[in-house]
Structure 1
Amino acid sequence: MKPKVISWNVRELNEYNKRLQVRNLLRQWKGNIICLQETKLEFITRKIVRSLWRGHHVGWLYLPSKGASGGVLIMFDKRVVDRLEDCVGEFTVAFSFENGFQWAFAGVYGPNIFFVIEVYNPNIDAEIRILWEELARLLSWWELPSCIGGDFNVSRFPSERSSMSHITPTMRGFSDFISKQALMDIPLTGGSYSWSNTREIPS
């Protein structure tokens, strides 16, 4: 069976009713590997995992939030893929899997720089470099066909943001990383943007 991967920024999983909504949608979508970002949970227990995905065949690993920010949870169906190795980094949760062939998946929640005015800032520059270096090390360590999904908090092109008219340093860095690692950026289909908030200048 080919695994179906679902990657979703859920924007918090603190409340049971929110987890129930997420569980109902995951049940409809029938994914085998689920990557949830921005959980805003410092601790994830088996009880929380079971509130999202019922059954005894679920494997899971998480990156805790930093206070009320970030967090990544990956769950997978152990009947579909066998976990070989796993790793939790500063911004990533990653697995190598076996299901007829070996491959790797990394779930990302990038440094939260999306709303920062794009001028040079050494702290922002350092954090985003840590993300690219962390992912590059993972790809180099396992040397397997890999899929990277999640919320990078970075876009590649001005057309991917409704209020942006020029290419920024972080956009160039994202494109450079994709090129150096010989990755393929799967294009967005459907809407022009992945989400829009209620600010005067929506993202």
Structure 2
Amino acid sequence: MGGNFNIVHFPSERSGTHRHSATMEEFSEFVFDLDLMDLPLLGGEFTWSNGQGWSRLDRFLVSPSWEAYLPELSHKWLPSVCSDHFTIMLDCGGIMGRHRPFKFEHMWLAMEGFVDKVRSWWSSYMFTGNPIFILARKLKVLKQDLKKWNLEVFGSIDNQKNTLMKELQDFEARELTGELLEKALARKRVVVIELEKVLLMKEILW
């Protein structure tokens, strides 16, 4: 189970707190009674911040059988984009690769001029034969042009996301320690806007 439990497990998970509270004890009993494991958070210490205080309110709890079945299981901290909560991800390990059939991606329609480009490609294809043969050949060539264009335009979308996420993560870490200057804050806002655009494309893709 995972999400915002709205409670910390240990005093070290909240800034300015050094003692166990009754709610922490209750949460520990809850985890123990259900025989769950509180995975360590990789990449950060806190999952929520209001700019003045920090806490780890969000987490995943898993059963021992999950950890045994998924040896590469990990709990990761990611930067926040438009929330006071940071993103957390439960990574269960890699997925075996397989051949991906060609599919028309809805996100292509979000690119300005895409329809005109397809129209231009289509009119440039010259084949002779009966109408069914011509249609089949033009569709086959169009598929190759779309795959090549997608690789050139969207092939780097994951790299863009990773670069922006890393930059945002650096800003978040510096902000937590009070080292983020006004100039860096302006850049952070630009990074968040660009990241939102990239994530929207990824959302459409999924």
| TM value normalised by structure 2 | 0.27
- Give the greater-gyration-radius structure (CA): 2
Higher helix share: 2
Higher strand share: 1
